[in-house]
Chains A and B, each alone.
Chain A
C-alpha cells in the first residue's frame, strides 16, 4: 500500500521534471542561500513548506498532501563518515531533501586511524572530489597541522600532497558544514533493515528503535560498523571503533535479500602522550615552507602554523619482544582469519615477513593542536594490551612513554562490490547505493570519492534522472570504482598510482580541467567557483600562447639555461622551447624577468607541465582515444550469458556475476579471455541485427496497413535526428 505510493506519485511528476532538468539542478544554489533565512525554522515538519516550494520535486509535493506520521525524504544516507558526509552533502546540494543517519552525532567525519589526508594517488582522489564540488579537500586545507608534497622530482603525475590534520577540528568543521545545509537533516539512529518495494526497489530504512524513514534512494556507508568487532590480543567485543557500538542486524537483513557479504580486517596503532616523549634524539620531519592546497577554491587557502612530525625506528628489542609473543596476536595465534591489507601490515607482519630487515621506520604524528595524543604510525599490532606499553618503550625516544589508547584491530562486514554497478547502485535493489568501506576499500579519500558519486547518483535517481558513471580513463575516481565492481577483490582496496593505466593524464594539476565542467553540469559548482575556474583556464591558455611567441637571444638568461640544462640555446629561441629543456623550470623564467606575474604558482605549474611534457601527454591521449573507440562499446544489461555457447564456461559464470557495462570492463574481469570477448562481440552484434530485422519486418507489416506509422519508424538514426 504505502509501497506503491511513492512510485505512482513520482511517476506523475516525472514529465514535469523532464521538461525542466536545468531548473531542478539550479534550485540547489537557491535553496542553499535560503538556508540562512530558514535556519531558525528548522523543525522536522515546519521547514518542509519552505523548501518544497522551491525544489520542484515529487516527494516533497506528496508530503504536502499530508502523510505526516511518516518521515519522507528524497535521499537517506546511512553513516556519517567520510563517504556519508560527501554523499549527503552532494545530494543535499543538488536539491534533494536528504536525511543523514548516524550512530553518534559527535563522531561525524571522524578520523579513527591516521590523522592525515592525501599521499600518492589518494591526493589525486581528493583533488578530483574537490573539482567536482566535494568537501574533503577544503576540510583538509582548513584543518591541516602539516603539509608536504611527496614525489616532487618524480614527475607531475605522481606528485602528491599529504596533510596531517587535526582530527577533532576536522570533525567539528565537517559537522558545521553538514549542519548548515538546509536540505540536509541529521539524526542519530541505528539502521537495522532496508525496506524494499514490490519491484525490488528501495523504499527506506527501519531503525533499531522502530522508526521508518522513507526515500526512493538510500546510500549505505557503514564503514567498520556492520557487525564490527574489535580485538586487543585475545579479548574482543562488538564495536565499530573503540568506544562505539557496532551496528547489528543490517548484515543479516542484506543477506536475506540475497547479497553476499564477507569479512575484512584492519587495525590502528596505539596513541601515546607527547609530553612523555624525548624528542631530542629523534629526526624531525617539517612541513613544506611553501604550502600547497588540495582545494581549487582559493577561499580555503589560508596558511596556518605547522606542527612537526618525528621519525623513530624499531630496535632489536622490539623485534625480540614480538617474536617471543607472536602466538599472542590474533593472526599468528590463529583466532582471526579475516584478511587485512597488504599495504598496511601490523608490525608483527612486517617482522615476520621481512625477517632480515633489522629495523623499520616509525613515524610519530600529532593528532591535534590542543591534545597531547601522538599517533604511532607504522606500529599497529594485535598484541594484548599488557605487552603494548613494553613494546612502545623499545622505541628510541619512547623509553618512558605513557600510552593513552591501546592499538586494536577491527573486523567488519563488507559487500564485495561486484554487486554494485559503476554508478554504485546495487544491481539487486533499485535505488540502494553502497559507498566506502562497505565496498571493501580503506582510506578516507577512497570513501569520499565513492561518497560523492553515490550522493550525486542517489539524488539523480530520486529525480529519475540518468545516473552518472565516470569512465575508468577519466579519473582516479573512475578507476577506483571500475576496479571495485569489476575485480573480485578480497582484501581492503587502497588507491595506488600504479592502478591507473593513464596516470600521466590524471594529474593533480588538471583535476579541475578534467572534472569541474562536469561538476558544473551536474550542479555542484556554483557561479563563483565556475568563474574562478574559467578565468584560471584562460590565464593558462594565454600564458602558453605568450611563451610560444616570445623569443629570446643570448644574455644571462640563455647562459643560465645552458648551465642548467646542459644544452645550448640558439638565438631567437621561444620561451616555450626553453621551458622544454631538461631541468628548466618556470621559476627560471621568473628569475630573469620572463615570467608572468599575473599567474599563481599553481597556474605556472600547469603551464610548465603542459609545455614540458606535451609529447608524452599527446601520446597517452591518442592511446586513450583508441581505448575509447575499442572498449567503451556498451553491453546490454540483460544479456543471458549462460545461453552463449561460444563463451567458455568460466567466463559465462564470471560475466553473469559481474554484468559488465562495457566491452572494456568485460575484458578486465579475471578469467574472461580475448577469444571470449570476440565471441561476445559477435553475439551482441548478431542480436542487434536480429532485433533490427524484426522491427523492420513489423514495420513493413504494419506499414502495409498504415503508411503513416511506418514513416515514423524509430530506427537508430531517426531517434538520433529527432533528439537533436
Chain B
C-alpha cells in the first residue's frame, strides 16, 4: 500500500544505530544467543525482532547481496523545467544502483571508441566524463557530461551520478526516461533532500523545511491523483488492475480452497492473460509520451491538390506560414508550423497535394508528402466540401494505407478526415461520403480554413485520437502520467515474466507472483491493499466454506 513512498526509506549509510537491526539478514555468523547476551548487557530494548532465514538458501543469498543492498535508486530532472530553454539541464540519479543505472544509459566517448561499450562503467568519483546517453535500443539521445559522486561524498550520501544534458525539456525527459527504463524510479518531490537528511547530510533546521514540503506534497499528490483518476488513461490503468485482480482471484481461490471449487479452465485463463498483456502493450504505446516530448505531435495534413491544406495550416497556426494561391500544386515541399494544442507541442506538416504528375519538382514533393504521412503521429486527410469524396481521394487514401502496411509499422497513425471549405458545401452530398470512410477515419471534422471555424474541434479530435485529454492546468498532467508510465513499465515486465512462467509450464502458484506484482504496480496510483481486495473478491465470487 505504502510501498510507493516506502522505497524512500533508506538504509542508514552512517554507522548504524545498531540496536535497530539486531536480526536483519546478517551474513556474518552472529548467533541468536550472542545477541541475547548483548541485549542483556544493554537492557534498553526489551524486544527482539527476528527475521529468520532459510538456512538452505543462505549461500545463494550472500553472493547476491552486493547487488541488492539498499532501497531503490531514484532519478529526476533537478534543474527547472517549463521555462524557456536553458543551456544545461541536469538529470540526477541517486541510490545504491546509481552507477549501474548510469552505466546502462551512459557511454563515455573514450570507451565507446575503444571497447565498443560492453564493459561495465567504473567511474572515478568526482571525475567528469564526456559521452552519450543511449536509449533502450541503443540510439543516441543526447551528448552529456557525467559527474559521478560516489558515497558518501555526495548530496544524498549515496552513490550519485549527475548527467548534464542539453537544456531543453525534450532532451531532459528522454534522458530521464532512459534512466527509468534502466531500473531507476522517479524521485518524489523533495526526495533527494529527504534522503540527504535521513542519511545525516543536512542539519535539523533544514529538516523542518522538508517536513513542510512533504505535507504540501501530500495535498498536491491527492490533488493530482484525483486528476489522474479522472483521465481516460488512468481509467485504462484502473481497468487493467481490476482484470489483474480478477485473474488473481481465480488463481488464489483455487490455492486456498482447492477441494471446494470447480477446476480452473486453463486455456481461457491463458487467453485472458495474453489479452491483458496486449492491452498493456497498447496502453504503453498510447502513453508513448517520449515521442511527444521529443518532437511534439507530428501532424501531417495530406490531400489532393487545392483542397485547402495550406489555408488550414495558416488558420491553425494563426500565421501566413504557407503560401496560398488558387493554383493547384502551389505547395511543393513540406511546410512546418508549430502550434500548441492544449499545452502539448505539435508540429503541423503541410504537404504537397498528392497526385500523378510529370513535374519533376512536384514529384519529389509528393514523395516527401508520403514520407511525412508515414512518420506522422496523426494524419489529417483534407478534402473539399465542394467536391465531396472523389475518386482521387479514395485512390490517395488507398495508397497511403498500402504504404503504411508495407512500411510494417507497429502502430499506424490514426487518421482524421477534415472536410474543408465547409462554408461552400453543397448540402446534399454530405451524408454519403461520411458513410464511405467512417471505417478508415477515427474522426470527421468540418472546418472552414478561411474563417477558422472548426479548428478547435479539430484540436480536440487530434487529442482524442491519440488518447490525450486536454490538460486543465499546465504541467500537472505530465508528472502524473510519467508516474503511471513507470508503473506500466513495471507491470509490463511482470507480464513478460508471467508469460515465461506459463511457457515453461511452471505450477500455478508461480503465476500469481508476477500477476500480483503487476497488480501492485497498477494499484500504486490509488494505493489500494491488493491482498484484501483479492480476498474480498474471492469471497464475493465463490461460495467457500466447507
Contacts and interface: CB of A to CB of B under 8 A. Distances in A.
Interface of A: 18, 21-22, 114, 120-121, 150-151, 153-158, 160, 341-345, 349-350, 353-354, 357, 360-361, 363, 377-378, 421, 423, 465-471, 473-475, 496-499, 501, 503-505, 510, 513-515, 517-518, 521-522, 537, 540-541, 582-583, 606, 610, 613-614, 616-618, 620-622, 625-626, 628-634, 646, 648, 661-664, 667-668, 670, 672-679, 681-683, 685-686, 688-690, 716-717, 719-720, 722-724
Interface residues of B, number: 94
A470 B50 contact: yes
A360 B7 contact: no
A21 B38 CA distance: 11
B18 A518 contact: no
Contacts of A689: 204
B370 to A, nearest CB: 47
Given A614-B60, A630-B9, 14 more contacts: A120-B256, A150-B259, A158-B509, A342-B539, A343-B544, A467-B48, A471-B51, A474-B51, A497-B252, A498-B534, A514-B53, A582-B504, A675-B5, A717-B18
B478 interface: no
B69 interface: yes
B194 interface: yes
Given A21-B40, A518-B32, A633 B20 contact: yes
Contacts of A503: 509
Contact of B194 (A21, A661, A678, A716): A678
B8 interface: yes
B507 A155 contact: yes
B197 to A, nearest CB: 7
B527 interface: yes
A614 to B, nearest CB: 7
A521 B70 contact: no
B48 A468 contact: yes
B545 A350 contact: yes
A661 B57 contact: no
B46 A625 contact: no
Contacts of A663: 6, 9
B214 A513 contact: no
B211 interface: yes
B2 A513 contact: no
Interface stretch (B132-140, B215-223, B409-417, B457-465): B215-223
A151 B510 contact: no
B91 to A, nearest CB: 23
Given A521-B31, A667-B1, A685-B207, A646 B214 contact: yes
A719 B9 contact: no
Given A155-B509, A504-B509, A675-B217, A690 B48 contact: no
5 contacts: A344-B546, A349-B545, A421-B47, A496-B535, A689-B204
B15 interface: yes
A628 B260 CA distance: 36
B255 A662 contact: no
B399 interface: no
Contacts of B25: 625, 628
Contacts of A518: 32, 50, 52
Given A582-B506, A631-B9, A677-B6, A471 B50 contact: yes
Contacts of B529: 670
A685 B197 contact: yes
B31 to A, nearest CB: 7
A690 to B, nearest CB: 7
A541 B504 CA distance: 26
Contacts of B65: 625
Given A342-B539, A621-B61, A120 B258 contact: yes
Contacts of A722: 41
A473 B51 contact: yes
Nearest to A663: B9
Contacts of B513: 504, 616, 620
B255 A154 contact: yes
Nearest to A621: B61
Interface in B486-518: 504-510, 513
B358 interface: no
Contacts of B69: 625, 629
Interface string B21-65: 101110000011100111111100111111111111100110011
A155 B197 contact: no
A478 B517 CA distance: 22
Contact of A629 (B31, B40, B71, B539): B71
B214 A675 contact: yes
Given A630-B9, A675-B221, A686-B204, A343 B545 contact: yes
Contacts of B6: 630-631, 663-664, 667, 674, 677
Contacts of B24: 628-629, 632
A499 B2 CA distance: 17
A466 B37 CA distance: 10
Contacts of B221: 675
Nearest to B497: A619
A685 B506 CA distance: 45
Contacts of B508: 153-155
B47 A466 contact: yes
Nearest to B258: A150
A673 B218 contact: yes
Nearest to B529: A670
Contact of A675 (B218, B252, B538): B218
Interface string B180-207: 0000000000000010011000001001
A514 B54 CA distance: 4
B392 interface: no
A548 to B, nearest CB: 12
Contacts of B8: 678, 681
B328 interface: no
In order of increasing CB-CB distance, the 3 nearest A-B pairs are A155-B509, A674-B5, A675-B218
A468 B51 CA distance: 10
Given A498-B252, A677-B6, A513 B56 contact: yes
B510 A469 contact: no
Given A471-B51, A610-B57, A682-B214, A343 B539 contact: yes
B33 A723 contact: no
A686 B215 contact: no
Nearest to B9: A630
Contact of A685 (B198, B260, B538, B544): B198
B531 interface: yes
Nearest to B535: A498
A361 B260 contact: yes
B250 to A, nearest CB: 12
A122 to B, nearest CB: 10
A120 B252 CA distance: 11
Contacts of B72: 626
Contacts of B56: 510, 513, 537, 540-541, 606, 610
B215 A679 contact: yes
A363 B260 CA distance: 10
Interface string B372-394: 00000000000000000000000
Nearest to A648: B218
Interface in B201-260: 204, 207, 210-212, 214-215, 217-218, 221, 252, 254-260
Given A150-B259, A154-B509, A674-B6, A646 B215 contact: yes
Contacts of B1: 667-668
A377 B506 contact: no
B85 interface: no
B33 A517 contact: no
Contacts of A510: 54, 56-57
Nearest to A351: B543
B423 to A, nearest CB: 55
Given A155-B508, A471-B49, A716-B18, A513 B9 contact: no
